[in-house]
Structure 1
Amino acid sequence: MADILQQRLHALAIDPHKDAVVGIKRGIERETLRINADGTLALTPHPGALGSALTHPWITTDFSESLLEFITPASDSIDTTLAQLADIHRYTAKQLGAEWLWPASMPCFIEQDTVIPLAQYGSSNIGRMKTLYRKGLHNRYGSMMQAISGVHYNFSLPQSFWQLYQRQLGDQHSLQDFISEQYLALIRNYKRYAWLIVYLFGASPAMCQSFLAGRSSRYSFQQLGKGSLYLPYATSLRMSDLGYTNSAQSSLSITYNNLPEYIAGLHSAVSQPSAEYQNIGVKHGGEYQQLNGNVLQIENEFYSTIRPKRTTESGERPTCALAKRGVEYIEVRALDVNPFSSIGITAEQMRLLDIFLLYCLLQESPPLSDEQQTVTEQNLRKVVTDGRRQNLELLQDGNSRLMLDWAEQIFAEMMPIAKWLDEAYQGSAYQAALKQYYLCLLDPAQTLSGQLLNQLLATQQDNGQFMLAKAEQYRAQLISEDYQFYNAADFSQAAATSVQQQQQIEAADNMSFDQYIAEYFAEVPACN
């Protein structure tokens, strides 16, 4: 084990300090398409029983009216978070009638991307801006890419931990500056090792061939069933350049070595004109086509596997929130929807992520140059398309290294962290989760992508058929079970309140949409 990791962990794990880590807060954002019973995309509006997508605290939409997003509040209990997420699924399933929830990251059968409806948020300026941003995404990249679903894992450590850790490192800055600095150190190491999460949790080695309709691909896909494509060693087609990529972003220099540098890089991208996107135009015949012609319309368009986050106030830009109040939590974005779970993620995955993120924090984390960051992205791309290939090699410190050899080392160094967490939480679940996923190193067929592809190949079944059967199974399972945390009245009340809040926002608007857009972009983050 690296000396610095061992020293830091030893200091944290001894009495009376070992309980300081108790209170980790987590939140889940899970995206899922609404589908018809024949496996096609549901083109109906956002169901009225689910309330306002603009203001509902737990149920909204992402890119499309057809793409639901479920959000759990931040909680310090994994069991509570999963119960909340299951109840949100359960209530939604009961409101959808003949529609089901798609249990995979890569989309269902979609005839053409022009049929995918943009999400609608009402007539307020903020609602119109959210829809216009999505229209810009459609005009820039097409809508098919935006129909891909994922799971986001929001993670923050308790103040008790940060106060102890700051004392142990002898840091003299304000506590918030220290927290921001340490979350960025975590992020740099996460980027170095994110390939391991994609290897373990990638669950999209196959997809419906309609996803590529009319487009070429550099990948040598193999055919499966009547209409599926797959790569034999792939882990996550969602994370490949079929999914969230932006060629214009490849020239950006957005680094994570300190918070002002990150904010400045992101703000520059939002402010930097793009010849390609300026050709689209901002308005045609007086009608908006996108928010602006810059490399990024807004910060959220930057596609990253992880983000430093701060809760924003209404109408506040994410970079401005970070500049004013520092990093509050991190958002892990490299997770495929787990098709073997009715809610897209499991407790074991969450515990493995806790261990892994603490490993990234406690390890030494030197700055990442642009060149080094490029290497981390190359390693990730290799695992995305070839992660289960025997003897796959990655680059570590300029040298080739067997991926599984590197993974073995990381698991060995994570074991004391799992033990520390189990002692702090007075259980054994963290070490059990680590041992469970260690089996994926011994046998790639145990990974989510390996399990899925082996089942498809064994039955020569289309990916769509398999997922449709899962969708039907999960719907029946969810609606047959009792609520665990919320109840039906909670959801009815939340829906009604959200509609009232949307109406209030619409009634309070007192400026033109043009002026609203201008004022939104007028504030510049102080990032010196």
Structure 2
Amino acid sequence: MFSRIGQLIFDNEAVAKTSDFTMGLEIEMQRVDEDGNLSQEPYPSAIGDEKTNPWITNDFLETMAEMVTPSAQHALDAMHYLYVINNTLRSALAPGELLWPMSMPPRLPKDKTKLRLAKMGPKKEAYLKEWAKRHGYSQGTPCGAHINLSIDTHVVEMVLEAFPERFKNEREVRNYLYTVLAQGFVRYRWLLTYLYGASPLVEENYFEPGKGLPHPIRSVRQSKYGFGTKFTGDFTNLDRYIARIEEGVKAGILTSDYEFHGPVRFKGNADLKKLPEQGIEYLELRMLDLDPSSSVGVRTGTLRFIRLLASYFIMHPPLKENEVEDILLNADKMNETVAEENPQEVCQYQAKARAILKSLERYANQIQLGPEYSEILEDLEDRVENPYTTPSAKLLNYVKDGSLTEYALRRAKRYQRAAQETIHPFKGFEDGHIYTADELRQELTR
């Protein structure tokens, strides 16, 4: 059953718009040498300055490259931009350098203080030092695929026009719709962890001596062993989202509002206090491990599934406001359970996963999405029925002496060779020119 807003969208035949969210990608990968150690090389000079190039920058470590695409209307366009930017970085690497294709880092030095924090200016460097002191260096090293998702303006305008008694302006519509989306993605994060988790183990020196995993798991990065601050956000509404983060800063749990690294973040004005005035402009989804079977860390089918989920969430009734916090706290526990399961075992929530995918299949048929969505859902249904077909379980076939280093380096070298064979590599960052999103889109589509 659609919500009133969902029915409005359906009746106006705007469903294609809701499944066609604008997407931008942020993909993190560690630079390594041919032996699988973190690189000692500086940020590649052929792509300008890490402090001013917003499209290939660094995050946490100097070796932790972050590739950012301009937003795109279609998943294929987003992937095209990512491939060009990824190849641009690869072609600028020093001889012998590679991009590590896994979410969890390669082997780390025993003395973590030897790791080089990103050189992103005095303020950011001071923040990174404080963060490392609080949480340890290892916790800052996992990499992932982040998806920035924004709603088509046509949908926002249509909802405002149809419900003037409920929303005063576009900002209120956006805040409401993005909150509904955020709740959906946090609620079903566990399903994404099951379907796309690809970090079953860690390499040498990630843990301190005497500590470690009891057995391989679905996703180290999405578990309590993975990235960053374990601070729970409040997604009831925008005001409570902001208040919860401010409480965390006041209590000293967070060093600043920037340190909130929830699975979903509301994005708009960089100043959290000004976010209500400007409104939410997009969501940042942070729950995907890198896909090591892809040279760019993510696949087109994954982006399409994320868009399908977003469309489904917008079209269906949202959670009741007084139930949001309890339901999402339970969802966090479910995610931890799934993340720490043995990848080769049937998921504890298999029946729930099966039911959700069946609902999505019915929905996709109802709104007449193309055959590519049917193929994606069939593949994901296979993963639910047979855990051996999930990414983490497949990776266990390549473990040698408790490590995935040999597999990761083999992949990294293959991807590097392919990039070096590109006939016309993009060289637009060499002179340090800072592109706007529109300029970069134009350059990357030539």
Q: Where do residues 341-420 of structure 1 align in structure 2 (5 Å cutoff)?
A: 341-364=294-317, 365-367=319-321, 368=323, 370-386=325-341, 388=343, 390=345, 392-393=347-348, 403-419=349-365
- The amino acid across from 1:117 in the alignment is R
What does residue 473 of structure 1 align with?
Answer: 414
> Do the aligned partners of 2:84 and 2:426 also contact (CA within 8 Å) in 1?
no
Q: 2:222 aligns with which of 218, 239, 255?
A: 239
Secondary structure, aligned partner of 1:66: strand
User: What is residue 432 of structure 1 aligned with on the other side?
Assistant: 375
Change in CA separation of 1:116 and 1:212 when aligned onto 2, cut-off 3 Å = same
Q: 1:38 aligns with which of 32, 35, 38?
A: 35
8 Å CA contact retained: 1:22, 1:158 = no
Q: Compute the displacement of 1:440 (Å).
A: 0.8
CA separation in 2, counterparts of 1:422 and 1:4? Answer: 15
Closer/same/farther in 2, CA of residues 215 and 68 from structure 1, 3 Å limit: farther
Q: Deviation per CA, 1:200-219, whole angstroms, max 9, x where unpaired?
A: 111001221321143524x4
Give me the whole-angstrom Cα distance separating, in 2, the residues matched to 1:388 and 1:478: 32
Between the aligned partners of 2:80 and 2:235, the Cα distance in structure 1 is 34
- Among 89, 94, 100, which residue is 2:91 paired with? 94
TM superposition shift of 1:421: 6.3
- What secondary structure, in the 3-state scheme, does the structure 1 residue paired with 2:30 have? strand
Contact map agreement 1:355 1:417 (CA 8 A) in 2: no
SS in 2 for 1:104: coil
Match of 1:261 among 199, 221, 240: 240
Conserved 8 A contact 1:31-1:70: yes
Quote the residue 2:398 is aligned against: 456
Say if 2:141 and 2:227, in contact at 8 Å, map to a contact too.
no
Asked whether the 8 Å contact 1:208–1:463 carries over to 2, the reply is yes
| 2:62 partner SS | coil
| Corresponding residue number in structure 2 for 1:206 | 201
Picking from 251, 255, 258, the partner of 1:297 is 255
Shift of 1:76: 0.6
Shift in CA distance, 158/215, structure 1 to aligned 2, threshold 3 Å:
farther
Q: Distance in 1 between matches of 2:72 and 2:23?
A: 6
Three-state SS of the structure 2 residue aligned to 1:181 is: helix
More deviation, 427-436/349-358: 427-436
The question of whether the paired residues in 2 share the 8 Å contact of 1:187 and 1:360 is answered with no
- What are the superposed Cα offsets for residues 244-278 of structure 1, whole Å, 9 maximum, x if unpaired? 2436x3xx6x4111111111111222233xxxxxx
What amino acid is the match of 2:303?
M
Q: Could you tell me which residue of structure 2 aligns to residue 108 of structure 1?
A: 106
Which protein shows a greater Rg? 1
- From the superposition, tell whether residues 262 and 471 of structure 1 become closer, same or farther in structure 2 (CA, over 3 Å): same
Amino acid at match of 2:42: P
Q: In the TM superposition, what whole-angstrom CA distance separates every residue of 1:281-337 from its partner, at most 9, and x where no partner exists?
A: xxxxxxxxxxxxx3212222122111111153xxxx2x1341220111111101000
SS, match of residue 361 in structure 2? helix
Classify the secondary structure of the residue corresponding to 1:386. coil
Matches within 5 A, 1:140-155: 140-155=134-149
Q: 1:49 maps to which residue?
A: 46
Mapping of residues 123-162 of structure 1, within 5 Å = 127-162=121-156
Cα deviation for residue 359 of structure 1 reads 2.2
Contact 2:88-2:427 at 8 Å conserved across structures: no
Partner SS, residue 438 of structure 1: helix
Which whole-Å CA distance do the structure 1 matches of 2:383 and 2:220 have between them?
A: 19
- Specify the code of the residue in structure 2 equivalent to 1:198: T
SS at match of 1:490: coil
DSSP-derived class of the 1:137 partner: helix
What secondary structure sits across from 1:412 in the alignment? helix
Where 1:239 maps in the other structure, the secondary structure is coil
C-alpha separation in 1, matches of 2:332 and 2:274: 27
Match of 1:444 in 2: 387
Question: Could you tell me how far apart the structure 2 residues matched to 1:246 and 1:75 are?
Answer: 30
Deviation digits for residues 80-135 of structure 1, max 9, x if unmatched?
211111111111111112210000000101123222101112xxxxx210111111
Matched, 1:74 2:71: yes
Give the aligned length: 430
The reply on whether 1:195 has 2:149 as its aligned counterpart is: no
Distance 1:489 1:216, change over 3 A: closer
Deviation of 1:155 (Å)? 0.6
Relative to 1, partners in 2 of residues 1:311 and 1:480: Cα closer, same or farther, differing over 3 Å? farther
Q: Which amino acid aligns with 1:302?
A: F
Q: Is the CA contact (8 Å cut-off) linking 1:421 and 1:430 kept in structure 2?
A: no
Partner Cα separation in structure 2 for residue 98 and residue 388 of structure 1: 33
Change (3 A) 1:35 1:19: closer
Tell me how far apart the structure 1 counterparts of residues 256 and 220 of structure 2 sit (CA, whole Å). Answer: 25
Which amino acid is 1:298 matched to? Answer: S
Give TM-score, length-normalised by structure 2: 0.89
Distance in 2 between residues matched to 1:144 and 1:24, nearest whole Å: 34
Rounded to whole Å, the distance in 2 between the matches of 1:178 and 1:302 is: 24
Superposed CA deviations along residues 471-497 of structure 1, whole A, max 9, x for unmatched, are 1111111221345xxx5342324x344
Give the corresponding residue for 1:275.
Answer: none
Q: Which amino acid aligns with 1:105?
A: S
C-alpha offsets along residues 382-425 of structure 1, whole Å, 9 cap, x if unaligned?
A: 000116465543xxxxxxxxx111111111211244346664xx
Task: Give secondary structure in 2 for the equivalent of 1:209.
Answer: coil
Q: Which moved more, 1:463-472 or 1:42-51?
A: 42-51
- TM-align CA RMSD: 2.4
- Secondary structure at 2:285's aligned position in 1? strand
How far apart, CA to CA, are the structure 2 residues paired with 1:435 and 1:384? 22
